[in-house]
Chains A and B, each alone.
Chain A
């Protein structure tokens, strides 16, 4: 039978039973512990289960002969992207790298998407959103916004894995409450130590993880969220007029990113229930997934590429909600101009204030 070792929350030393006082006592800092509190703690530790982040397998649907009718596949020689679209939609340049040499090839079957969110916003909306994105950015180089050299705006259905799962968790925290008071001779500081135990469950629905190597993961994350209640069963007709990327990151490879997000959010939810303490530290966290499943979906994105001063800039717009993101370059001259304006104004105010204070 394994012996349970207790550590003193005050100093970290091993505590032991002191027969004189009939209590557990720390031999290092002399703190005494109520046996009832330790019994409760024992019970809480016994109930903890090991962490598990496993997902059920996924078979997916394969393309039927009818699904593949009227589909065309393109291959970009420059970045290796494979793009799927309707035969009637011409792909003149690669939406990922902008390379105009796009070769048509035989459509090769892969998993058929389970669902699709159709485009709700058109190319003009994407161009307007780009102009708005430039507005009010004081450090944006004037030449970047005035010479608007976005060559091509592509509507792309980007492949995603959507993860659904329940999560059970056992969390343990170490918390303190601090009280201070004084008398004529001494200042006192009383620290009360608590062990906080929380167990419970929650459910996650439709956590998207980008399944395309060509799409920047951070850009895709920043275009969330989508309204998944509007998703439709996939039919090839939705691809007409748009390009679609094939997934080249498997669900097994994507699961780590979903797990990380689930773990962080579960931890945040449980921590938010620990209230009224001056400090809280997580001592133990066990998160177990249950009923995990995933599906393959295509999500609508407008992708805008541009090169400026030898650097590539990619912007994206959520084709359903219109959320627009993309990092912008900085004008160093403008940066220093604003730095000196802020410096000069605050220097004058601070000097007057400091002078008046020192003269008192």
Chain B
């Protein structure tokens, strides 16, 4: 029973690792992608903040009852 359970767990883990490993190898073949940002084209030192406010609005407290431990008689 323990062996069957261990085999089941090992299969799931091995499938996940094999998939991640081969996905990494597949990604080596892709070097072309769309550029969606322009961070390298920001002029050095040009980024300036003129207004910086962190406004506290409200708070909410939720409480949940802790499960009680049964006292031993």
A positions within 8 Å CB-CB of B: 8-10, 29, 31-34, 37-38, 40-41, 44, 47, 133, 136-140, 166, 170, 175, 182, 184-207, 216-219, 221-222, 224-225, 258, 260-262, 264-265, 268-269, 273, 325-330, 335, 338-340, 342-344, 346-348, 350-351, 354-355, 358-359
17 further A-B pairs in the complex, CB-CB below 8 A; given A202-B43, A205-B42, A338-B21: A9-B58, A10-B58, A31-B59, A33-B57, A37-B56, A136-B28, A186-B64, A186-B65, A187-B64, A189-B64, A190-B59, A191-B62, A202-B46, A206-B41, A261-B35, A339-B22, A350-B9
B40-57: which have CB < 8 Å to A? Answer: 40-43, 46-57
Residue of B nearest to A344 (CB): B14
Q: Which residues from chain A contact B46 at a C-beta distance below 8 Å?
A: 166, 201-203
Contact A194 B54 (CB under 8 A): yes
Contact A326 B31 (CB under 8 A): yes
B1-43: which have CB < 8 Å to A? Answer: 2-3, 5-7, 9-11, 13-15, 17-19, 21-22, 25-26, 28-43
Contact B36 A327 (CB under 8 A): no
Q: Which residues from chain B contact A140 at a C-beta distance below 8 Å?
A: 29
The distance from the CB of B60 to the nearest CB of chain A, in whole angstroms, is: 5
Q: Answer whether A188 and B14 are a contact pair too, CB < 8 Å, given A358-B2, A358-B6.
A: no
Q: Answer whether A198 and B49 are a contact pair too, CB < 8 Å, given A186-B63, A221-B33.
A: yes
* Alpha-carbon distance A300/B31, docked complex (angstroms): 19
* Alpha-carbon distance A359/B65, docked complex (angstroms): 36
Contact B6 A343 (CB under 8 A): no
B positions within 8 Å CB-CB of A: 2-3, 5-7, 9-11, 13-15, 17-19, 21-22, 25-26, 28-43, 46-66
Contact B50 A200 (CB under 8 A): yes
Q: Which residues from chain A contact B55 at a C-beta distance below 8 Å?
A: 37, 40-41, 44, 194-197
Residue of B nearest to A26 (CB): B58
